[in-house]
Amino acid sequence: MDKNRLIEEATAFVRSELENEASGHDWWHIARVTKMAKHIAEQEGADVFICEMAALLHDIADEKLNEGGEEAGLKRVKDWLEVHQADNEMINTIIEIISTMSFKGGNHPPMTTLEGKVVQDADRLDAIGAIGIARTFAYAGAHGDLIYDPAIHPREKMTKEEYRAVKTTAVNHFYEKLLKLKNLMNTDTAKEMAEARHQLMEDFLQKFYHEWEGNL
Protein backbone atom coordinates (compact mmCIF):
# COMPACT_ATOMS: atom_id res chain seq x y z
CA MET A 1 0.00 0.00 0.00
CA ASP A 2 1.42 3.33 -1.16
CA LYS A 3 0.77 6.02 1.45
CA ASN A 4 1.05 8.97 -0.95
CA ARG A 5 -1.39 7.32 -3.30
CA LEU A 6 -3.85 6.69 -0.47
CA ILE A 7 -3.70 10.37 0.53
CA GLU A 8 -4.32 11.39 -3.09
CA GLU A 9 -7.28 9.05 -3.43
CA ALA A 10 -8.78 10.07 -0.08
CA THR A 11 -8.42 13.71 -1.12
CA ALA A 12 -10.27 13.11 -4.40
CA PHE A 13 -13.00 11.10 -2.60
CA VAL A 14 -13.64 13.73 0.08
CA ARG A 15 -13.43 16.57 -2.38
CA SER A 16 -16.16 15.10 -4.57
CA GLU A 17 -18.33 14.25 -1.54
CA LEU A 18 -18.17 17.64 0.17
CA GLU A 19 -17.64 20.06 -2.71
CA ASN A 20 -21.23 21.35 -2.60
CA GLU A 21 -21.75 21.26 1.17
CA ALA A 22 -22.56 24.79 2.37
CA SER A 23 -23.32 24.12 6.04
CA GLY A 24 -19.78 24.48 7.37
CA HIS A 25 -18.46 21.09 6.27
CA ASP A 26 -17.39 22.05 2.80
CA TRP A 27 -14.23 20.78 1.14
CA TRP A 28 -12.28 23.89 2.15
CA HIS A 29 -12.93 23.14 5.83
CA ILE A 30 -11.35 19.72 5.23
CA ALA A 31 -8.42 21.28 3.34
CA ARG A 32 -7.72 23.73 6.20
CA VAL A 33 -8.06 21.07 8.92
CA THR A 34 -5.79 18.66 7.03
CA LYS A 35 -3.09 21.30 6.60
CA MET A 36 -3.39 22.27 10.28
CA ALA A 37 -3.31 18.62 11.41
CA LYS A 38 -0.08 18.06 9.46
CA HIS A 39 1.48 21.13 11.04
CA ILE A 40 0.49 20.16 14.61
CA ALA A 41 1.54 16.53 14.01
CA GLU A 42 5.01 17.66 12.95
CA GLN A 43 5.36 19.92 15.98
CA GLU A 44 4.10 17.27 18.41
CA GLY A 45 5.93 14.27 16.94
CA ALA A 46 2.69 12.45 15.99
CA ASP A 47 2.25 10.11 13.00
CA VAL A 48 1.74 12.64 10.19
CA PHE A 49 0.20 10.15 7.75
CA ILE A 50 -2.48 8.94 10.21
CA CYS A 51 -3.31 12.53 11.16
CA GLU A 52 -3.63 13.52 7.53
CA MET A 53 -5.87 10.55 6.66
CA ALA A 54 -8.12 11.05 9.70
CA ALA A 55 -8.39 14.80 9.01
CA LEU A 56 -9.34 14.15 5.38
CA LEU A 57 -12.03 11.62 6.32
CA HIS A 58 -13.30 13.13 9.59
CA ASP A 59 -16.52 14.68 8.28
CA ILE A 60 -17.54 11.96 5.81
CA ALA A 61 -19.13 10.10 8.74
CA ASP A 62 -20.93 13.17 10.16
CA GLU A 63 -24.46 12.29 11.25
CA LYS A 64 -25.79 15.44 9.58
CA LEU A 65 -24.51 14.26 6.19
CA ASN A 66 -25.59 10.61 6.40
CA GLU A 67 -29.11 9.32 6.14
CA GLY A 68 -28.38 6.30 8.29
CA GLY A 69 -26.75 8.46 10.98
CA GLU A 70 -23.18 8.31 12.28
CA GLU A 71 -23.07 4.48 12.27
CA ALA A 72 -23.77 4.34 8.54
CA GLY A 73 -21.25 7.13 7.95
CA LEU A 74 -18.50 5.27 9.80
CA LYS A 75 -19.23 2.14 7.79
CA ARG A 76 -18.81 4.12 4.57
CA VAL A 77 -15.37 5.29 5.70
CA LYS A 78 -14.38 1.76 6.76
CA ASP A 79 -15.58 0.30 3.45
CA TRP A 80 -13.69 2.95 1.52
CA LEU A 81 -10.46 2.19 3.43
CA GLU A 82 -10.89 -1.56 2.90
CA VAL A 83 -11.49 -1.16 -0.82
CA HIS A 84 -8.32 0.93 -0.99
CA GLN A 85 -6.35 -1.76 0.81
CA ALA A 86 -5.49 0.10 3.97
CA ASP A 87 -4.27 -2.34 6.62
CA ASN A 88 -6.49 -3.27 9.57
CA GLU A 89 -4.52 -1.48 12.25
CA MET A 90 -4.63 1.74 10.23
CA ILE A 91 -8.36 1.38 9.60
CA ASN A 92 -9.06 0.84 13.32
CA THR A 93 -6.99 3.84 14.36
CA ILE A 94 -8.65 6.16 11.83
CA ILE A 95 -12.18 4.96 12.69
CA GLU A 96 -11.43 5.36 16.42
CA ILE A 97 -10.32 8.95 15.86
CA ILE A 98 -13.21 10.10 13.71
CA SER A 99 -15.87 8.36 15.81
CA THR A 100 -14.78 10.11 19.01
CA MET A 101 -13.63 13.59 17.99
CA SER A 102 -16.86 15.59 17.49
CA PHE A 103 -17.97 18.22 20.05
CA LYS A 104 -21.71 17.43 20.31
CA GLY A 105 -22.38 19.63 23.31
CA GLY A 106 -19.03 18.86 24.94
CA ASN A 107 -20.10 15.44 26.25
CA HIS A 108 -17.33 13.27 24.83
CA PRO A 109 -14.54 11.56 26.82
CA PRO A 110 -10.94 12.65 26.06
CA MET A 111 -9.13 11.33 22.98
CA THR A 112 -6.96 8.28 23.66
CA THR A 113 -4.21 8.63 21.02
CA LEU A 114 -1.82 11.47 20.26
CA GLU A 115 -3.00 11.40 16.63
CA GLY A 116 -6.62 11.77 17.79
CA LYS A 117 -5.65 14.73 19.96
CA VAL A 118 -3.90 16.38 17.01
CA VAL A 119 -6.82 15.99 14.58
CA GLN A 120 -9.38 17.09 17.16
CA ASP A 121 -7.28 20.20 17.87
CA ALA A 122 -7.00 20.99 14.15
CA ASP A 123 -10.80 20.68 13.74
CA ARG A 124 -11.38 22.88 16.80
CA LEU A 125 -8.94 25.55 15.62
CA ASP A 126 -11.02 25.82 12.44
CA ALA A 127 -14.10 26.53 14.59
CA ILE A 128 -12.56 29.61 16.26
CA GLY A 129 -10.93 32.87 15.11
CA ALA A 130 -11.91 34.71 11.92
CA ILE A 131 -12.77 31.48 10.08
CA GLY A 132 -14.76 30.27 13.08
CA ILE A 133 -16.80 33.47 13.14
CA ALA A 134 -17.54 33.15 9.41
CA ARG A 135 -18.55 29.48 9.76
CA THR A 136 -20.85 30.22 12.69
CA PHE A 137 -22.89 32.79 10.76
CA ALA A 138 -22.94 30.57 7.67
CA TYR A 139 -24.25 27.67 9.78
CA ALA A 140 -26.89 29.84 11.48
CA GLY A 141 -28.06 31.14 8.09
CA ALA A 142 -28.24 27.63 6.64
CA HIS A 143 -30.34 26.48 9.64
CA GLY A 144 -32.68 29.49 9.74
CA ASP A 145 -31.30 30.80 13.04
CA LEU A 146 -31.03 34.51 13.85
CA ILE A 147 -27.66 36.22 14.19
CA TYR A 148 -28.70 37.39 17.68
CA ASP A 149 -31.78 37.68 19.88
CA PRO A 150 -31.32 39.18 23.37
CA ALA A 151 -34.38 37.17 24.56
CA ILE A 152 -32.81 33.77 23.73
CA HIS A 153 -30.18 32.94 26.33
CA PRO A 154 -27.18 30.64 25.82
CA ARG A 155 -27.65 27.17 27.36
CA GLU A 156 -25.27 26.27 30.17
CA LYS A 157 -25.40 22.49 30.04
CA MET A 158 -26.96 20.32 27.38
CA THR A 159 -27.21 16.76 26.16
CA LYS A 160 -26.06 15.83 22.67
CA GLU A 161 -29.73 15.82 21.54
CA GLU A 162 -30.45 19.26 23.01
CA TYR A 163 -27.27 20.67 21.48
CA ARG A 164 -28.57 19.75 18.03
CA ALA A 165 -32.33 20.11 18.44
CA VAL A 166 -33.07 23.26 20.41
CA LYS A 167 -33.09 26.55 18.53
CA THR A 168 -30.28 28.95 19.29
CA THR A 169 -28.65 31.98 17.66
CA ALA A 170 -25.27 32.48 16.04
CA VAL A 171 -24.12 34.71 18.92
CA ASN A 172 -25.24 32.13 21.52
CA HIS A 173 -23.10 29.52 19.78
CA PHE A 174 -20.01 31.46 20.92
CA TYR A 175 -21.01 30.86 24.56
CA GLU A 176 -22.28 27.31 24.05
CA LYS A 177 -19.16 26.11 22.26
CA LEU A 178 -16.63 28.45 20.65
CA LEU A 179 -15.36 30.31 23.73
CA LYS A 180 -14.86 26.98 25.53
CA LEU A 181 -12.60 25.51 22.86
CA LYS A 182 -9.40 27.34 23.88
CA ASN A 183 -9.35 25.45 27.20
CA LEU A 184 -10.21 22.14 25.54
CA MET A 185 -7.16 22.05 23.24
CA ASN A 186 -5.11 18.89 23.80
CA THR A 187 -1.66 19.86 22.50
CA ASP A 188 0.65 22.74 23.45
CA THR A 189 0.96 23.72 19.78
CA ALA A 190 -2.83 24.16 19.45
CA LYS A 191 -3.15 25.87 22.85
CA GLU A 192 -0.71 28.51 21.71
CA MET A 193 -2.45 29.00 18.35
CA ALA A 194 -5.86 29.20 20.04
CA GLU A 195 -4.92 32.27 22.12
CA ALA A 196 -5.01 34.87 19.33
CA ARG A 197 -8.07 33.27 17.70
CA HIS A 198 -9.90 33.33 21.03
CA GLN A 199 -9.02 36.97 21.63
CA LEU A 200 -10.33 37.89 18.17
CA MET A 201 -13.73 36.37 19.05
CA GLU A 202 -13.84 38.27 22.37
CA ASP A 203 -13.05 41.51 20.53
CA PHE A 204 -15.64 40.72 17.86
CA LEU A 205 -18.39 40.13 20.45
CA GLN A 206 -17.54 43.33 22.29
CA LYS A 207 -17.81 45.32 19.04
CA PHE A 208 -20.97 43.44 18.08
CA TYR A 209 -22.81 44.48 21.29
CA HIS A 210 -21.43 47.98 20.97
CA GLU A 211 -22.97 48.38 17.51
CA TRP A 212 -26.14 46.51 18.56
CA GLU A 213 -26.79 49.19 21.15
CA GLY A 214 -26.60 51.78 18.39
CA ASN A 215 -23.30 53.25 19.50
CA LEU A 216 -21.46 55.29 16.93
* Position among 135, 182, 197, 198 found at the interface with ligand ADP (CB under 6 A): 135
- The verdict on 44 binding Ni ion (CB under 5 A) reads no
CB of 196 to ligand ADP, least distance (A): 17
- Of the listed pieces 13-21, 117-125, 133-141, 177-185, which binds Ni ion according to CB under 5 A? 117-125
Interaction partner, residue 198 (ligand ADP, Ni ion, none; CB < 5-8 Å by kind): none
Backbone angles phi, psi at 142, to 5 degrees: -65, -25
Neighbours of 149 (CB within 10 A): 14
Q: Looking at 43, 100, 102, 113, which residue binds ligand ADP (CB under 6 A)?
A: 102
Q: Taking the chain, what is the end-to-end CA distance rounded to the nearest angstrom?
A: 62
Contact between residue 7 and residue 15 where contact means Cβ atoms under 8 Å apart: no
81's enclosing H/E stretch is helix 69-83
How big is the chain, counted in residues?
Answer: 216
Indicate whether 177 belongs to the interface with ligand ADP (CB under 6 A).
Answer: yes
Cα 58 from Cα 73, distance rounded (Å): 10
Q: Please pick, from the candidates 123, 140, 186, 190, the single residue that binds Ni ion as defined by CB under 5 A.
A: 123
- Cβ-based neighbour number of residue 25 at 10 Å: 19
For ligand ADP, the binding residues (CB under 6 A) are 24, 102-104, 127, 132, 135-136, 139-140, 145, 168, 170, 173, 177-178
For Ni ion, the binding residues (CB under 5 A) are 59, 123
